Amino acid sequence: MLQILIIGFVTGTQRNRICSNKCGNVPIPYPFGIEEGCYLDESYYIECNPTTQIPHLNVSRIFPQPFEFLSHPLEVLEIDINGNLRVNLPIVYRCYSKSGETISGPTTEISTSRFPISSTENRFMGVGCDVEANIGVHNPTMVTKCLLDCNYFHGAIKNGSCMGRGCCQASIPPGTTYAGIYISLPENKTTVWNETRCGYAFIVEKDEYKFDNSELRTMPNNVSFPVSLDWSVGSTRCEVAQMDKVNYMCHENSVCYHGELGLWGYRCKCSVGYNGNPYIQNGCQDVNECESEELNDCLPGYCKNTYGSYNCICPSGHQGNAKIGGECIPVEPHSKPRSIIEGICEGVAGAAVVMIFVYYVAKRRIRANTRKDFYKKNGGIMLQKTLFACKDRTNKAEIFTEEELKKATNNFSDTNVIGQGGYGTVYKGVLANKTMVAIKKSKVIDQGQIKQFVNEVIILSQINHPNIVKLIGCCLETHVPLLVYEYVTNNTLSHHIRKHPVLAFEKRIKIAKETAEALSYMHSTTQIIHRDVKPSNILLNDDFTAKVSDFGISTFVPIGETHLSTFVKGTIGYMDPEYFRTCKLTQKSDVYSFGVVLLELLTGTKIHSSDIQLTEYKGVGAYFTSLLESGALVQVLDDQLKREEYVDVVKRFIEIAIKCLHLEGKARPTMKEVNHELEQIRCILLSIIDEST
| More confident of the two residues 164 and 682 | 682
Quick check: 612 and 623 in contact, CB under 8 A? yes
Residue at 359 is within a domain: no
Q: Is the peptide bond before 315 cis (omega within 30 degrees of 0)?
A: no
CA 243 to chain centre: 29
Q: Round to whole Å and give the CA distance between 470 and 518.
A: 12
Quick check: 203 and 227 in contact, CB under 8 A? yes
Residues assigned a catalytic role? 532
Using pLDDT thresholds of 50, 70 and 90, give the confidence band for residue 447. Answer: low
Look up the CATH number of the domain holding residue 616. Answer: 1.10.510.10
**pLDDT (mean) for 517-534:** 88
Using pLDDT thresholds of 50, 70 and 90, give the confidence band for residue 31. Answer: very high
Residue 55, classed as helix, strand or coil, is strand
**Amino acid found at 203:** I
**pLDDT (mean) for 244-260:** 86
**pLDDT (mean) for 251-279:** 85
Quick check: 597 and 538 in contact, CB under 8 A? yes
**Amino acid found at 400:** F
Quick check: 253 and 308 in contact, CB under 8 A? yes
> Rounded to the nearest 10 degrees, what angle do helices 671-692 and 647-660 cross at?
170
> Rounded to the nearest 10 degrees, what angle do helices 587-603 and 671-692 cross at?
20
Same domain for 63 and 127? no
**Amino acid found at 114:** R
- β-partners of residue 26 are 23
Residue at 356 is within a domain: no
Which pLDDT score is estimated for 642? 80
Quick check: 54 and 40 in contact, CB under 8 A? no
**pLDDT (mean) for 59-77:** 54
**pLDDT (mean) for 669-692:** 89
pLDDT exceeds cutoff 70 at 69:
no
Which pLDDT score is estimated for 196? 55
Query: Of 463, 486, 509, at which residue does a domain stop?
Result: 486
Residue at 669 is within a domain: yes
**Amino acid found at 73:** P
pLDDT exceeds cutoff 70 at 451:
no
Taking only the tens place, the pLDDT of each residue in 453-490 is 666 676 676 678 889 998 888 887 777 778 888 899 88
Same domain for 539 and 651? yes
Residue at 459 is within a domain: yes
Q: Round to whole Å and give the CA distance between 24 and 539.
A: 49
Same domain for 497 and 635? yes
Q: Round to whole Å and give the CA distance between 90 and 74.
A: 10
Same domain for 215 and 301? no
Look up the CATH number of the domain holding residue 409. Answer: 3.30.200.20
pLDDT exceeds cutoff 80 at 434:
yes
Alpha helices in 230-336 (DSSP H): 238-241
- β-partners of residue 408 are none
Same domain for 605 and 506? yes
Q: Round to whole Å and give the CA distance between 626 and 117.
A: 45
| More confident of the two residues 601 and 356 | 601
Taking only the tens place, the pLDDT of each residue in 115-151 is 888 888 999 888 887 778 888 765 444 556 676 777 6
Using pLDDT thresholds of 50, 70 and 90, give the confidence band for residue 43. Answer: confident
Q: Is the dihedral of CA 404, 407, 412, 414 positive or negative?
A: negative
Helices (H) and strands (E) in the chain, counts: 13, 36
Strands annotated E in 467-590:
471-475, 482-486, 528-529, 538-540, 546-548, 555-556, 564-565, 584-585
Which pLDDT score is estimated for 94? 84
Taking only the tens place, the pLDDT of each residue in 595-624 is 999 988 888 877 765 444 444 445 666 677
- The model carries a pTM of 0.48
DSSP for 305-320, please give it.
EETTEEEE-PPTTEEE
Taking only the tens place, the pLDDT of each residue in 631-644 is 666 777 887 788 88
Quick check: 389 and 239 in contact, CB under 8 A? yes
Strands 417-421 and 424-430: antiparallel
Query: Of 82, 107, 136, at which residue does a domain stop?
Result: 82
| Degrees, nearest 5: CA angle 499-686-659 | 70
Residue at 370 is within a domain: no
pLDDT exceeds cutoff 80 at 559:
no
Task: Return the minimum-mean-pLDDT range out of 70-74, 610-614, 667-671.
Answer: 610-614
Same domain for 429 and 525? no
Same domain for 618 and 480? no
Taking only the tens place, the pLDDT of each residue in 418-432 is 877 656 788 999 998
Which pLDDT score is estimated for 2? 35
pLDDT exceeds cutoff 70 at 61:
no
pLDDT exceeds cutoff 80 at 111:
no
Looking at the chain, the whole-number percentage of residues with pLDDT higher than 70 is 74
Which pLDDT score is estimated for 263? 67
Query: Of 468, 486, 504, at which residue does a domain stop?
Result: 486
Residue at 313 is within a domain: yes
Residue at 176 is within a domain: yes
Same domain for 110 and 214? yes
Quick check: 356 and 346 in contact, CB under 8 A? no
Residue at 243 is within a domain: no
pLDDT exceeds cutoff 60 at 276:
yes
Quick check: 321 and 327 in contact, CB under 8 A? yes
Quick check: 476 and 648 in contact, CB under 8 A? no
Q: Round to whole Å and give the CA distance between 637 and 274.
A: 60
Q: Round to whole Å and give the CA distance between 439 and 429.
A: 7
Which pLDDT score is estimated for 172? 83
Same domain for 75 and 163? no
Same domain for 423 and 517? no
Which pLDDT score is estimated for 693? 66
In what helix (H) or strand (E) does residue 227 lie, and over which residues does it extend?
A: strand 224-230
Which pLDDT score is estimated for 134? 81
**Amino acid found at 268:** C
Using pLDDT thresholds of 50, 70 and 90, give the confidence band for residue 409. Answer: very high
CA 531 to chain centre: 20
Which pLDDT score is estimated for 135? 80
Which pLDDT score is estimated for 3? 35
Residues spanned by the domain of 311: 289-329
Which pLDDT score is estimated for 497? 82
Taking only the tens place, the pLDDT of each residue in 167-202 is 888 888 777 777 778 888 776 554 444 555 788 888
Same domain for 601 and 541? yes
For residue 116, give the DSSP letter: P
Q: Round to whole Å and give the CA distance between 344 and 349.
A: 8
Same domain for 323 and 181? no
Which pLDDT score is estimated for 272? 85
Which pLDDT score is estimated for 373? 60
In what helix (H) or strand (E) does residue 470 lie, and over which residues does it extend?
A: none
Burial of 657 (0-12, 13-18, 19+ CB in 10 A): buried
* Torsion angles phi and psi, residue 111, rounded to 5: -130, 120
**pLDDT (mean) for 416-445:** 81
Total structural domains within the chain: 5
For residue 154, give the DSSP letter: G
Q: Round to whole Å and give the CA distance between 284 and 274.
A: 6
Phi/psi region, residue 580 (left: phi>0; alpha: psi -120 to 50; beta: rest), is alpha
